[in-house]
Amino acid sequence: MVTETQIRPVLFPVGTKRSGAEDEDSDNHPVPIPKKPYVLPPANAKEDPAAALANARHEFGEHGGVNMSIEASATFTVMEPETMRRLFSGELGPDRDFFVYSRHFNPTVLNLGRQMAALEGTEAAYCTASGMSAISSVLLQLVGGGGHVVASQTLYGGTHALLTHFLPRACNITTTFVDVRDHVAVKDAVVEGRTKVLYFEAISNPTLTVADVPELCRIGHEKGVMVVVDNTFAPMVLSPARLGADVVVHSISKYISGGADIIAGAVCGPASLVNSMMDLHQGALVLLGPTMNAKVAFELSERIPHLGLRMKEHCKRALEFAKRMRKTGLKVTYPGLEDHPQHQLLKSTANPDYGYGGILCVDMETEERANRLMYHLQNFTQFGFMAVSLGYYETLMSCSGSSTSSELSNEEKARAGISPGLVRMSIGYTGTLEQKWAQFEKAMAKLHDESFMFHIKN
| The pLDDT of residue 14 is above 80 | no
| The pLDDT of residue 32 is above 70 | no
What's the pLDDT band for 20 if we cut at 50, 70, 90? low
Q: What is the 3-state secondary structure (H, E, C) of 303-334?
A: HHHHHHHHHHHHHHHHHHHHHHHHHCCCCEEC
Q: Which of 31-35, 53-57, 239-243 has the highest mean pLDDT?
A: 239-243
For residue 298, give Cα distances in angstroms to 72, 209, 264: 10, 33, 12
- Top-confidence residue, 69 or 39: 69
- Indicate the residue type of 416: A
Q: What is the mean pLDDT of the chain?
A: 89
What's the pLDDT band for 320 if we cut at 50, 70, 90? very high
Query: How high is the pLDDT of residue 132?
Result: 98
Angle of helix 367-379 versus helix 433-457 axis, rounded to 10:
130
- Top-confidence residue, 41 or 303: 303
| The pLDDT of residue 238 is above 60 | yes
Q: Which helix (H) or strand (E) holds 86?
A: helix 81-89
CA pair distance 111, 384, nearest whole angstrom: 34
CA pair distance 107, 338, nearest whole angstrom: 45
- Phi, psi angle pair for 143, to nearest 5°: -95, -55
- Top-confidence residue, 259 or 457: 259
Query: How high is the pLDDT of residue 93?
Result: 87
| The pLDDT of residue 44 is above 80 | no
Q: To 5 degrees, how large is the angle CA 196–CA 413–CA 397?
A: 105
Q: Region 27-56: what's the mean pLDDT?
A: 60
What's the pLDDT band for 418 if we cut at 50, 70, 90? confident
Q: Region 112-131: what's the mean pLDDT?
A: 98
| The pLDDT of residue 154 is above 70 | yes
What's the pLDDT band for 16 if we cut at 50, 70, 90? very low
Query: How high is the pLDDT of residue 19?
Result: 53
3-class SS of residue 145: coil
| The pLDDT of residue 25 is above 80 | no
3-class SS of residue 24: strand
The model's pTM is 0.89
Complete DSSP assignment for 101-121: BTTT--HHHHHHHHHHHHHHT
Query: How high is the pLDDT of residue 457?
Result: 54
Query: How high is the pLDDT of residue 70?
Result: 96
Query: How high is the pLDDT of residue 79?
Result: 92
- Top-confidence residue, 38 or 136: 136
What's the pLDDT band for 451 if we cut at 50, 70, 90? low
Give residue-wise pLDDT tens across range 342-374: 999 999 999 999 999 999 999 999 999 999 999
Q: Region 172-195: what's the mean pLDDT?
A: 97
| The pLDDT of residue 454 is above 70 | no
Q: Which residues pair with residue 397 across a beta bridge?
A: 386, 425
Query: How high is the pLDDT of residue 409?
Result: 77
Query: How high is the pLDDT of residue 288?
Result: 96
8 CB-near residues (< 8 Å, 6+ apart): 2, 33, 35, 37, 90, 93, 94, 95, 275
| The pLDDT of residue 284 is above 70 | yes
Query: How high is the pLDDT of residue 410?
Result: 81
**CA-based R_g, the chain, Å:** 24
For residue 87, give Cα distances in angstroms to 78, 81, 94, 402: 10, 11, 9, 49
Q: How many other C-beta atoms can be found within 10 angstroms of the C-beta atom of residue 215?
A: 16
Query: How high is the pLDDT of residue 26?
Result: 35
Query: How high is the pLDDT of residue 28?
Result: 38
107 CB-near residues (< 8 Å, 6+ apart): 14, 71, 94, 99, 294
Query: How high is the pLDDT of residue 271?
Result: 96
Q: To 5 degrees, how large is the angle CA 108–CA 310–CA 433?
A: 155
Give residue-wise pLDDT tens across range 322-333: 999 999 999 999
| The pLDDT of residue 8 is above 60 | no
Query: How high is the pLDDT of residue 34?
Result: 31
Pairing of strands 148-152, 195-201: parallel
What's the pLDDT band for 2 if we cut at 50, 70, 90? very low
Q: Which residues of 36-65 are buried (b: 16+ CB within 10 A; e: fewer)?
A: eebbbeebeeebbbbebbeebeebeeeeee
Give residue-wise pLDDT tens across range 399-415: 987 777 777 778 887 77
